[in-house]
Structure 1
Amino acid sequence: MDDPIGASATALADAIRAGELSAETVLDAHLDRIADHEELNAFVTVIEDSAREQARRADEAAEAGESLGPLHGVPVAIKDLMQRKAGVRNTLGLAPLSDHVAETDSVTVERLEAAGAVILGTTNTPALGHTIKTDNRLQGSTPTPFDDGHSAGGSSGGSAAALAAGLTTIATGSDIGGSLRVPASCCHVASIKPTFGRVPSDSEGLDRFNDHSPFLVLGPLARSVEDVALAYDLLAGPDDRDPFSVPETPPVSDRIDRPAAQFSVAYSPDLDLQPVAPEVRETVGGAVDDLASAGATVDERDPDLPSYAELSEAYMAQVGLSFAAIATQIEERFGIDFETADVVDTVPSTIALGKSADALETQLQNVPRTAAYDAIEAVLDEYDVLVTPTLTVPPYSRDLADGYPTEIDGEEVMGVPTDQMLTWVFNMTGHPVAAVPAGRTDDGLPVGLQIVGRRYAEADVLAVATAIEEARPWAAEYPFAES
């Protein structure tokens, strides 16, 4: 292997264990790319000294004929929010926490390092991960590497941009409404939002019971489905620090290479919920056609969801309350007043939304949420998976100050994040969702699709994702591969 940039995690780990590449050489190649692409604002903190120590350990183990695990010497980046490494800044995307240093490793970091990973650093996220543009007062905005005028998405935008630019091999993220899948769509990478409870979380000093309304999950991003599956297997499994974590299920990595003909697919171009831009509908439709040509049974089928107005009101009520609760704890812990703190305007307004919520009314929002769950279950009773676009539009402008589109396919929308994505419904229902590239627009902007499966059926959604990757490969489309 001449160039480690763009190689898969498995290929890198195998080459390092075999002595064909040194982990330090791999690290240096990625550190050089990070330095050469500072304009992306993908990384908040690069931890070179620690990473070099881990790379040396990987090389010493290889020389001794020992394996550190499936990620032996592989560079990994972690989102600067719920994932943390002891002794490294953990800012949560907040300028007031620019000097805050994590005291403990998160369970995610523990498991990655136990598998031999080299942690490169932390990636950019909007303040408290509150929206789908990665932009904050600490670091600035992060664009998609495909066009610097357009956003990398959010809230795991730094992780997705780092992957698309070849700055890391695997990255982590979190998702309460689309924060893994939206950046995957904007940056032409793959990810998975696991079933709630499959990947444990252990927020440092914060409420660990807050993740259920709507479901907040952690998960990996990578350039290939194979690497997403590998990372998912390493991250999944119970942990006593997470009161919602569930017992182990069999690994998915050895169950994702299956013929497309094994799967029945329900395809909904818009969930019968909101308008979708023609270029998104065309691109995703083309990917679904390729999946059918590969042998999958595909029928167009819309779930019988509540109206957009009713369902988005339920989502915003619950996510607003969850966000306000976390923000209040952070205010108390760190002495921050979000009314006067150096944060973007959308932070205090989102907090205010939650603080004004009525407890009984918020609880009753589980009625339309239940209807949405039943509607998705009804589709999945007939089909193995449900496929939809990830975003309703191509990547939007990069800066929060620019706002969001207020018209989609000639139809006026509110210009709020829920207009721009079809992801948040599945944070209300808790189903696992894989996200993969569908193609690119005539302007070269990435478009993604999402694959929804039955609860705990991560292997199925990743197998369909693999079939799409085989039918419509994207590995050669990254900027570093095209140059």
Structure 2
Amino acid sequence: MHPIINLSATALAKAIRNKDVSATEVVDAYLNRIKEVNPNLNAVVQLSEQTAHDQAAKADAALASGDISGPLHGVPFTIKDSFDTAGLISTGGTKGRANFVPSKDASIVSRLRAAGAILLGKTNTSELTLSYETNNLIYGQTNNPYDLSRSPGGSSGGPAAIVAACGSAFDIGSDYGGSLRYPSHCCGIATIKPTSGRVPRTGHILSFGGVLDSFQQMGPMARFVDDLSLVLPIIAGPDDIDPGIVPMVLADPKKVNLKSLRVAFHADNGIIAPSSETDKVVRQAAALLGDAGLIITEIRPTGIEQSYDLMIALLSSDGGVSIRRLLQDAATKAHTLPWLGLAKPMDATQFDTLMMTWCRFRSTLLSFFKDYDVILSPVNAFPAMPHGSLNADLEAFSYTMTYNLTGWPAAVVRGGTSPNGLPIGVQIVAHPWREDVALAVAEFLEKALGGFQPAPI
């Protein structure tokens, strides 16, 4: 393994700009690492090797002439296969799109390219991003680099696995109920789900087709928190296509006064108790924040116990009509979504009552949050689980579902390790539009708790 791939994306960008290393050398190092680890992981499902080499050569030539394309000049990345990439197959994990080649990039992809980043390839996703296990009928199952018998999580399991294996400087995933945060927890990396309305969904397999699409947010995944702070401003902001994006200022995490923050933490959300090692990691993180001068209170947000039942009711409220439409649009006949048959449509009165319940839920949690700046909690009740076992304890995912329901920003950073060597993350939630606060706390905990630890692969 070439030592340069151990650098953060931030350090890589600086090294390339300073001509300490060429973009070609960096791209070659990452491509070699993908070829080394991917046979065991099945994380990268489309490789754009020749194009990446060509772009690296152009980046080096431009730099030699004093031209820097942007803050990611020459930095390699991968992207979840739920995003459209011009000229490169983009399946969304569904069989009807097995050979679909988009004519243009998703908004996020075009912004990253404009900033100088070099796309290495596409990473695996669950079908239509709608499962916590990364497996589909086109590319099959992705494995966890810390234990191949376990899931890397989903739906952004391909991104999490290859980033954790040092096969990509960073990736971009999506999060409909924890799909950024849960895989990052399983694979020991960092991520942030931005505020609902921060990052455009244009060109994603689930874009902006209905009221529940506010659940879905796009965000960066990386080994280091600094890289999240580097990439998020590049992909954020209106694209004049996604109608849900708000032109809000993105503040600098470096300017956050940590000691002024009030932190509410809980290890148990009242829906499902966490494993003992998860409880321990969250409490240790809270104690370290307290030792650093932050005001710490152990308290569970009011009404959080409704999260799981409310999320499930909302997801099934149309009887599966929206998902069937996506499958039909993709010409997919055989799929991996058996739960579709269990979704029961609601009449107008039932749906109206459910919408009112959702609004009251958000209002109750927002009222609770006025006395705090941060909520610290588990990402999931358990560390990474064996393949095929995730549906047994769906309530374990309620820890992330809560903040899809509210739309608030939520970061994840590695907090510790289970007795059998699996990463355990902690979740840091901030007020709407205060990604800077979530990232500042995540960076502190990364340094205090050790952060990313290389996977044994």
Counterpart for residue 425 of structure 2: 448
Shift of 1:99: 1.3
Counterpart for residue 57 of structure 1: 58
Counterpart for residue 149 of structure 2: 149
**1:75-474 equivalent positions in 2, closer than 5 A:** 75-81=76-82, 83-203=83-203, 208-210=208-210, 212-213=212-213, 215-250=215-250, 252=251, 254-256=252-254, 258=256, 260-305=258-303, 307-308=305-306, 311-321=307-317, 324-337=320-333, 341=334, 343-344=335-336, 347=337, 349-354=338-343, 356-398=345-387, 400=388, 402-404=389-391, 415-474=392-451
**1 CA distance for matches of 2:120 and 2:196?**
27
**2 CA distance for matches of 1:391 and 1:275?**
10
Shift of 1:257: 5.8
Amino acid at match of 1:162: I
Counterpart for residue 46 of structure 1: 47
Amino acid at match of 1:121: G
Whether the 8 Å contact between 1:213 and 1:428 is mirrored in structure 2 is no
For normalisation by structure 2, the TM-score amounts to 0.94
Helix, strand or coil: the match of 2:424?
strand
Helix, strand or coil: the match of 2:427?
strand
Shift of 1:296: 1.6
Counterpart for residue 478 of structure 1: 454
Moved more, 22-31 or 211-220: 211-220
**2 CA distance for matches of 1:128 and 1:206?**
7
Amino acid at match of 2:34: I
**2 CA distance for matches of 1:178 and 1:255?**
23
Amino acid at match of 2:57: R
CA 1:434 to 1:127, structure 2 compared with 1: closer, same or farther past 3 Å? same
**1 CA distance for matches of 2:214 and 2:342?**
15
**2 CA distance for matches of 1:323 and 1:479?**
41
Shift of 1:33: 0.9
Amino acid at match of 1:463: A
Whether the 8 Å contact between 1:125 and 1:158 is mirrored in structure 2 is yes
Amino acid at match of 1:294: A
Shift of 1:131: 1.2
Amino acid at match of 2:429: V
**1 CA distance for matches of 2:311 and 2:290?**
33
Whether the 8 Å contact between 2:281 and 2:426 is mirrored in structure 1 is no
Amino acid at match of 1:103: S
For normalisation by structure 1, the TM-score amounts to 0.89
Q: CA RMSD in A?
A: 2.1
Shift of 1:286: 1.3
Amino acid at match of 2:423: P
Shift of 1:139: 1.7
**2 CA distance for matches of 1:422 and 1:265?**
17
Amino acid at match of 1:330: L
Whether the 8 Å contact between 1:93 and 1:124 is mirrored in structure 2 is yes
Helix, strand or coil: the match of 2:320?
helix
Amino acid at match of 2:330: F
**1 CA distance for matches of 2:233 and 2:319?**
29
Helix, strand or coil: the match of 2:77?
strand
Whether the 8 Å contact between 2:132 and 2:155 is mirrored in structure 1 is yes
CA 1:19 to 1:215, structure 2 compared with 1: closer, same or farther past 3 Å? same
Shift of 1:214: 5.2
Amino acid at match of 1:156: S
CA 1:206 to 1:315, structure 2 compared with 1: closer, same or farther past 3 Å? closer
CA 1:26 to 1:207, structure 2 compared with 1: closer, same or farther past 3 Å? closer
CA 1:57 to 1:451, structure 2 compared with 1: closer, same or farther past 3 Å? same
Amino acid at match of 2:272: Q
**2 CA distance for matches of 1:63 and 1:419?**
52
Helix, strand or coil: the match of 1:69?
coil
Whether the 8 Å contact between 2:94 and 2:330 is mirrored in structure 1 is no
**1 CA distance for matches of 2:238 and 2:19?**
34
Counterpart for residue 407 of structure 1: none
Whether the 8 Å contact between 2:263 and 2:297 is mirrored in structure 1 is yes
Whether the 8 Å contact between 1:131 and 1:417 is mirrored in structure 2 is no
Shift of 1:274: 2.2
Aligned residues with identical type, % of pairs = 35
Q: Show structure 2 runs of 5+ residues with no match.
A: none
Amino acid at match of 2:48: I
